[in-house]
Structures are given as structure tokens and as C-alpha cells.
Amino acid sequence: MEYQYVARTQDNSVVKGKLTATSEGAAADMLSYSGYSVLTLKERVPLFQSDKLSMELTSGIKPLEIIMFSRQLALLLESGTDVVTSMELLEAQADNKHLKKVLADVVSDVRGGVPLSEAMSHHKKVFSALYYRLVAVGERTGTLEVVLRRAADYLERAYVTRKSVKNALTYPFVVILVAIGVIAIMVTYVLPAFTGLYSSFDAELPAATRALLAFTEWTQNYGFFVAMGAGIVVAVGFIYTRTPSGSMQWARLMLTMPRIGRINLLNELANCSRSLSLLYGSGLPLPDAMTLIIQGTTNKAMRQAFVDVQQGMIAGAGLSGPMRRNDLFLPLMVQMTAVGEETGNLDHTLTTVAESYEADSDEKTKAMIAMLTPTMTIIIGGIVGFIAIAMLSAMYSIFGAAF
């Protein structure tokens, strides 16, 4: 996280600046060690945030291409090919020009004596911090091909999970958009055309028709102001969520709201459990692994929860102890973490937690979609049916008055 500070130096001059730290306390310690007396210290939240350490690829390279690259590199290394030759072979066969350029840069750095992990760290939009730190562990322990396979498995699971959720939400989202568009067209163009027709006949219109016409007239007169007011509310809410307190409240709401909050929480815990299992199981020290988990967690409330856990762990309380004091960590994760600490199989127990939460999240997502689809169909059908009944009953009233 990035922090802005105003501090006083030892010669009583005031300085301003920015620094990156895992928590506000760590930032204050860094300034104190530098001989500064902190006057103000607050987190810097940009208007449009971007997480450069995310597993999401934003450089024109698809996740599947990195997964395939990892598996192919592991296979070449297992066959006895050296790193440079392996990278050159993968560069030559790469179809994506962006990936080809990145691999060319990595090969050039490695030929110059730079370790593979450090060369990858120069391309953070392609190789996340978690990825190149894993590669560094593999280089240090001589198990690079094993680590690459684990990283590929991790990326593949994350990709499949995101894709399944996206596919599940696509149909209801399209239905809602089409329904809103159809209703908007009817209220804006179709119904006003019938208003003049109905008013030209001296007939008593049914209550449903009168209500529909009144709503249409109200929409034409005040719809713009309502849309503008809604836009202002959304803009104010968006700006508030960019502030430190607002972003924290929004992040916690996304984890605690009914149904969708539980799914988000399960996904966050599953992702963090699998990441921690991968890092720790590959040989990375637990404090370093926790730092990467904090950096890679996109939800601010969950990130702060892991910061608290890390501080408690450094203070000697272990991993499960600090987790138990935060309600964002569900009982299964706390209990399994405690078991893993006692038995020395923390990576295996965290993998079990991740698999359990992924299955639970998938089941809850499917249940929510199964409930959402018929509910939206009933609501949309009810609205369209009401409009049809109002128009048809008006026609019958007009025919009755005419004949």
C-alpha cells in the first residue's frame, strides 16, 4: 500500500512524500528509522486503482498463454535443457507478439547474468509478484520445474474459477439488459403514441391503463431529472469509495452482504489459502509468503485482516491465533490452520481449505443463479403482462364506447 506523509526532519524542516509499506504502522516505523518525526500519515487511494501485482494480465497476454508457457518451460527443464535455450525455444514458437517481446527481454536479461526470477520481475503485468517469487524459490532450491508446474496449476484453477463465475452470470445479465431496453423503448416511444389515440376517444379507460399512461407521462416529464439524480448519487458514492474510510467500508460490505457477500468471502479465503499453500509449500518463509498474500489481495478489508495476522504472527502468536480474532476468517480455515501448525503440514491443510471453500462457493453461486433466473423472468413477465393487459383492456373500453 502507498502512503502520503508529512514529517519533520532532525533539523526541524518539514518534508512531504510517498512511500510503500504493508501497513500504516510499518510506514511509520520506516519513517522513524529514517530519522523523521511523523506529522501526518495517511493511505494514498488513487481515483482509479490498478493492482500491478494482480494475477490478471493486462498486457495483451491471456492467462492461458502463461499457463501453457509455465508447463512447457517445466517440461523443457525436466528434459535437461538449460534455462536460456528453453526460453529461446518458447520465444521462437510464441504466436502472441506481446508474449514474444516479453520473452525476448527475459532471455536478454538472463544472458546478461540476471537470474530468471529477477528478469521476470521486470514485467510485473505479465509475471505477478507471486509468480516470480516462486521462480526465485525454485532457483534457490533447485526445483524450478516443480515450482513452475505448481504455479501453472494455481493459475489454471484461478482461471477456471473466474471463467465459471463469468459464464454463470452472463445469461441473467443479458436478460436484465434486454428487459430494461425493451421496457424503456415501450415507455419512451410506444406508449406515448397510444396516449393520443386513447385521448381522442371519449371513453372511460380502465384503472390499469390510466396508471400506465400516468407513469409514461411522469417519465417523459421527470425522467431526465431522475436519471441525472441517480447519476449524481452514483458519482458521489464512487468518489466516497475512493477515500480510505469509504473504500474500507465498501470492501467490508462486499464480504458481508447477503448471498453475494458470502460468495465473495469464500472466493477470497480460497484464493488466499491456495496462494499461501503454494508459497509455503514451495519453500518460501511464512513471513515473506504473508507479505505476498497481502500485496496480492484486492479486497481492502481482507488485506487489512491479513496485515493484522502478519503482525500477530511476527509477535509470536502463530498464524491461527490472530485469525481467530477476526470474524472474516471462517472457523474451518482457523481450525485447519491450527492443525497444520501443530502437525507441520500447513501447506496440505490450506490446500484442503481452498478446495472446500471453492466447492462451497461454486455451489452457492449456482444456487444464486438458479434462483435469480426464474425470479427475473417472473418480474419481467409481470411487467410486460401488465403493459399488455393495460393496452388491451383500453382497446376493449374504446370499442365498447364506440359501439
pLDDT in tens, 105-138: 999 999 888 899 889 988 888 888 888 888 888 8
pLDDT of residue 329: 92
pLDDT of residue 204: 72
What is the DSSP code (8-state) at residue 327?
T
Q: Select from 317, 94, 16, 73 the least CA-distant residue to 102.
A: 94
* Torsion angle (degrees, nearest 10) of CA 84, 90, 91, 93: 150
**Sheet hosting strand 14-20, strand order edge to edge:** 14-20, 2-8, 37-43
pTM of the model: 0.66
pLDDT of residue 56: 40
pLDDT of residue 402: 57
pLDDT in tens, 335-351: 999 999 899 888 899 98
pLDDT of residue 334: 92
Cβ neighbours of 326 (radius 10 Å): 16
What are the residue ranges spanned by the domains of the chain?
A: 2-43, 63-156, 166-403
Cα separation, 287 vs 332, whole angstroms:
22
* CATH code that applies to domain 166-403: 1.20.81.30
| Ranges in the chain, pLDDT < 70 | 1-2, 10-14, 19-23, 25-26, 29-30, 33-34, 39, 44-59, 165, 168, 195-203, 399-403
Query: What are the phi and psi torsion angles at 40 (to 5°)?
Result: -140, 145
Which residues make Cβ contacts (< 8 Å) with residue 14, sequence separation at least 6? 6, 7, 8, 39
The reply to whether CATH 2.40.160.210 applies to domain 63-156 is: no
Cα separation, 106 vs 118, whole angstroms:
9
Cα separation, 129 vs 135, whole angstroms:
10
